[in-house]
């Protein structure tokens, strides 16, 4: 059996009431969940940075080892060329060997320079690691504190939140899929989470823009879904304003002289 528009609106009102209560619970928690998430992401970033620094140190250590091996090989060649100089037959061969010895000596000097540069880079990376670890430890302490605070606040409202989520599931099941999708879309875009509102004092209860009398009459009839032409929120009803009667002033009679 198809539901009337009035029944659909009542179902939406019920769902909005539940969602507003859930929003209130999240509001009480404030920015803590986002702060915890941000700290977790920040910690991962610092840990990744430290890992990167350690990898760079390993690369520099490997470069140092390679240059030290190159120095050993260069010294072997120098010894070899010096031995060969003892048995040369002419000056040309001697000069050629001297040139090779000079080249290997230069290679040793270059390798020694590279080793010093690598050691300086390692020292700089170690300092960066120390500084990053100090920040990381501080952030971990902050995260632990924020998590404890969040657990405490969450535990206080967990039972109520679980009940409301169950009620929401039941309430949402009573609304047709197309209408529910529209409701969820409006709620997502609404800053205050209100997708279903009343017309109060001739204005939209969501964006507070004026609602024309004819539009209000259509909302009162509840024969079709009426939305605010400014913000797109669904109008559930029109709140009637009952003005209090002002007390009548007592007439005072002047005393006769």
Cβ contact 36:108 at 8 Å: no
Distance CA 49, CA 16 (A): 45
Mean pLDDT to the nearest integer, 73-88 = 95
Mean pLDDT to the nearest integer, 13-35 = 90
Arithmetic mean of pLDDT over the chain? 91
Which pLDDT belongs to residue 248?
Answer: 56
Q: Is the pLDDT of residue 249 over 60?
A: no
Which pLDDT belongs to residue 217?
Answer: 95
Residue 251 pLDDT grade (very low, low, confident, very high; cuts 50, 70, 90): low
Distance CA 255, CA 66 (A): 121
Condensed to tens digits (0 to 9), the pLDDT of residues 130-186 reads 999 999 999 999 999 999 989 888 887 888 999 999 999 999 999 999 999 999 999
pTM here?
0.59
State how beta strands 234-239 and 196-200 pair. Answer: parallel
Give start and end residues of each alpha helix (H) in the chain.
Answer: 5-29, 32-85, 91-173, 177-189, 213-221
Mean pLDDT to the nearest integer, 229-256 = 70
Residue 223 pLDDT grade (very low, low, confident, very high; cuts 50, 70, 90): very high
Tokens matching residue 134 = 């100090």
Distance CA 218, CA 176 (A): 22
Q: Where are the domains of the chain?
A: 5-22+176-239, 31-158
Q: Is the pLDDT of residue 242 over 80?
A: no
Instruction: Name, in order, each residue with C-beta under 8 angstroms of 42's C-beta and a sequence gap of 6 or more.
Output: 139
Distance CA 169, CA 15 (A): 9
Percent of the chain whose pLDDT exceeds 90? 81
Residue 241 pLDDT grade (very low, low, confident, very high; cuts 50, 70, 90): low
């Amino acid at each position: 059996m198809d539901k009337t528009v009035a029944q659909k609106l009542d179902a939406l009102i019920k769902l909005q009431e539940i969602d507003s209560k859930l929003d209130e619970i999240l509001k009480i928690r404030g920015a803590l969940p986002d702060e915890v998430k941000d700290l977790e992401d920040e910690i991962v970033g610092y840990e990744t940075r430290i890992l990167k620094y350690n990898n760079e140190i390993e690369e520099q250590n490997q470069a140092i080892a390679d240059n030290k091996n190159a120095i050993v090989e260069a010294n072997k060649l120098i010894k070899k060329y010096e031995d060969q100089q003892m048995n040369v037959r002419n000056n040309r061969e001697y000069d050629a060997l001297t040139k090779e010895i000079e080249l290997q000596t230069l290679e040793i000097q270059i390798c020694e320079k590279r080793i010093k540069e690598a050691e300086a880079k390692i020292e700089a990376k170690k300092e960066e690691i120390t500084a990053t670890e100090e920040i990381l430890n501080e952030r971990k302490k902050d995260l632990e504190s924020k998590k404890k605070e969040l657990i405490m606040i969450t535990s206080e409202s967990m039972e109520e939140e679980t009940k409301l989520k169950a009620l929401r599931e039941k309430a949402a099941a009573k609304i047709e899929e197309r209408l529910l999708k529209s409701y969820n879309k409006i709620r997502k875009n609404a800053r205050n989470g209100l997708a279903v509102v009343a017309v109060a004092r001739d204005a939209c209860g969501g964006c507070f823009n004026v609602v024309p009398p004819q539009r209000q009459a259509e909302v009162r009839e509840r024969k079709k879904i009426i939305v605010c032409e400014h913000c797109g929120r669904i109008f559930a009803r029109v709140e009637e304003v009952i003005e209090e009667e002002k007390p009548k002033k007592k007439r005072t009679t002047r005393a006769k002289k």
